[in-house]
Amino acid sequence: MTRQRGAVYLAGLAMMMLATGACTTTSGSSTSSTSSGSASMMDPAGGDWTTYHGSYRSWHYSPLTEINSDNVKKLKVAWVHHPGRSTRGLQSMPLVADGVLYYTGSYSRVWALDAATGKPLWSYFPKLNEDLVAAQTHSPYTRGIALGMGKVYVGTVDGRLIALDMKTGQPAWDTKLVNSEKLTVGFTGAPLFVKDKVIIGSQGGEWPGRGPIFGVDAASGRKVWEFLTVAGTDEAMKTWGGESWKTGGGGGWMAGAYDPETNAVWWGTGNPAPLYDWAGAEWKTTGPRPGDNLYTTSIIGLDADTGKLKFYHQELPHDAWDFDSAVGEFVMLDRDGKKLVVHPNKGGHVFVYDRKDASVVNVWQLAKNINFVKGVDPKTGALIGRRDLALGKHTNLCPAIAGGMSWNSGAYSPKTGLYYKIGQEWCMDLEVIKTTPVLEPQAQLDLGANFTLRDPEGGKAHGHLSGRDPVTGAKKWEVMFPEPPLASLLATAGNLVFVPDSRGMLRAFNAETGQEVWAHNNGIGHNGGIISYAAKGKQYIAVATGWGSLVGDEFGALFGEPYKSMPKDSGAIVVFTLE
């Protein structure tokens, strides 16, 4: 396959190969079937990892088998790379194409390294508006990049999308998309390469803006389309009372996925602002943002070419709890003749949709401590027994603001048929307070409450990893963690699931049984990505280390050590292979 061929064809072929199992490689085979620098967003058939979620199917799965549950105990560090200036840790997902590992650190620093040795090939440090960065809350981490058409694409926290030449690191174009100087927010999530465009979503949520998602021409950097997640259509405008749409939040701050069969870009959107809504049960007609608040806390399908809305489902109408849908993974799989997509929501439920139109197929519960609703109708997705929060004090709201699941991704193995995902168990007390959004001279967070995290009633806050049927949620096995792991997971055809945990241990589990089979101490917590790839005939595992995300910042007060003393300005790429 060559870079000249169309991405859709390549992606479609990759999916067919996966469906037939043709992608599963023999151990250690180093191929370049994904073709370096091509626009393909293929599954890692040749041992590459060319897009944030590993493939358009969001499986976070490697078909490589050289490292497996029988020999994983021989896994050793092959090389380490420190990007420097790792404020809030290294939160990004590395990518690999044709023997080169690309990744970004805080402040959108981009590195290209020899994937077998870690030898630096080039680096690019964008000049940022440092005064703006200093004024940002959700900053300066950058969670990933995209590859395609011979370029590396990276968003910046000051609202730009930059393209770099894959071979040299020289900038090809630099496009300002968001007025971050006014709105304060920019880009921290990875872009998604689709056909001839780069898709990227702005931060939003509790930030009072309209949360745009952009489609940018990959060749020129020209903005082709923009979709506003807050009141982006006439239908949506009617779901915001008064002028609340002007400060509605939303956004799409994690990379989504792409379905070539419908030409739909699937994206999860952020919560509305203010976070908490003093209207209580009267939210349809009163309060700071009356109505359903479309398209916040929703999954949306956008036409990849035009950015037009094709379909959507709002997972939490009028989200009053900050349980947004911005989690980027859209696990695509086929079952019983149905083409499905599985999407976790921060509130702790997992939604299963039909890929043709986002109609709800099933909803199942992953987190155990949930009381913001009594349930979700598995046939329609409708919320049952909402706990809307009126002005004043409330106790034991579950899950806590950090969610029943966080933004990092789970993994799916087509070999075991299991979906591996972290659940988080914690609650909080809060007092809802009327607020007025601060918009001038620079927008500020709009919360509407003070809150304090706490243990669930009758137990300690904790996390868990489980292996489940992705469609029904049926649990095959579960492993408990004293604190929730906050990094992404990796499944491999070697019958392994890798979990980079919060204390700093990288752990491997038998994918069939959940038995722990290997662990290594990386010396600092994990809050980023993990991939597997092949280079020069060997299989590697690469993980981002470093601590200090906004969720991780809760751990010191909630769990004590080692988090109270854990550095928040360090991080590295640590790469493993068999000795």
Partner 1 sequence: MRDPLTVAVVLIVAITIFDAPTPSPAQTPAPSDAKPAPAQGKTASIDAKAGEQLFATTCGFCHQGGGRVAGRGPKLAGTERPDAYLLERIRTGKQGAMPAYGGAFSEAQMRALIAYIRSLKDEPQ
Q: Which is nearer to partner 1, 422 or 443 (CB)?
A: 443
How far is 293 from 19, CA to CA, in rounded Å?
38
Tokens of 15: 């999916």
Specify the 3-state DSSP secondary structure of 512: coil
Closer Cβ to partner 1, 468 or 568, answer by number: 568
Instruction: Identify which of residues 98 and 277 has a Cβ nearer to partner 1 in the complex.
Output: 277
Question: Is 322 known to be catalytic?
Answer: yes
Tell me the C-alpha distance between 203 and 186, whole Å.
Answer: 6
Query: For residues 374-407, b (16+ Cβ closer than 10 Å) or e, as one string?
Result: eebebeebebeebbbbebeebeebbbbbbbbbbb
The C-alpha atoms of residue 303 and residue 259 are separated, in whole angstroms, by 10
Three-state DSSP at 499 gives: strand
Which of residues 451 and 576 has its CB atom nearest to partner 1 in the complex? 451
Report, in this order, helix, strand and coil percent for the chain, each rounded to 5: 10, 35, 55
Of 260 and 548, the one with the shorter C-beta distance to partner 1 is 548
Spell out the residues 6+ positions from residue 506 whose beta carbon is closer than 8 angstroms to its own: 498, 499, 500, 519, 520, 522, 526, 530, 543, 574, 576
The residue type found at 340 is L
Bridge partner residues of 153 (DSSP): 146, 163
Residue 275 or 422 having the CB closest to partner 1: 275
SS (H, E, C) 210-262: CCEEEEEECCCCCEEEEEECCCCCHHHHCCCCCCHHHHCECCCCCCCEEECCC
The residue whose two tokens read 């950097």 is 221
Cβ burial, residue 27 (10 Å; 0-12/13-18/19+): middle
Beta carbon of residue 150, minimum distance to partner 1 (angstroms, whole number): 34
Q: How many helices (H) and strands (E) does the chain have?
A: 5, 38
Q: Which DSSP category does 441 fall into? A: S
25 within 8 A of 37, measured Cβ to Cβ: no
**Minimal distance in Å, beta carbon 292 to partner 1?**
14
Q: Which residue's CB is nearer to partner 1, number 96 or number 401?
A: 401
Pairing of strands 490-492, 61-62: parallel
Rounded Cα gap, residues 272 and 265, in angstroms = 21
Min CB(395)–partner 1 separation in Å: 12
Nearest approach, Cβ of 532 to partner 1 (angstroms)? 30
Q: How far apart, in whole angstroms, are the C-alpha atoms of residue 196 and residue 160?
A: 18
Nearer to partner 1, 98 or 319 (CB): 319
Closest to 86 in 3D by CA, of 527, 445, 489, 485: 527
The nearest distance, CB 162 to partner 1, in angstroms, is 22
* CB nearer to partner 1: pick between 184 and 362: 184
Given the residues 43, 322, 388, 446, the one annotated as active site: 322
Q: Quote the least distance from Cβ 87 to partner 1, whole Å.
A: 4
CA of 197: how far to CAs of 152, 192, 307, 517, in Å? 12, 8, 11, 41
With contact defined as beta carbons under 8 Å apart, do 456 and 464 qualify?
Answer: no
Residues shown for the chain: 579
DSSP 555: H
- Please report how close the Cβ of residue 440 comes to partner 1 at its closest, in angstroms: 9
d(CA 69, CA 578): 12
Nearer to partner 1 (CB atom), residue 121 or residue 237: 237
Of 337 and 441, which has the nearer Cβ to partner 1? Answer: 441
Minimum Å distance from CB 557 to partner 1?
A: 4
Mapped onto helix, strand or coil, the DSSP state of residue 475 is: strand
End-to-end CA distance of the chain: 32
Binding site residues, partner 1, CB under 8 A: 87-88, 131, 134-137, 140, 184, 206, 241-244, 274, 285-290, 429, 431, 433-438, 441-442, 444-453, 548, 550, 553-554, 556-557, 568-569
Which residues are known to be catalytic?
A: 322
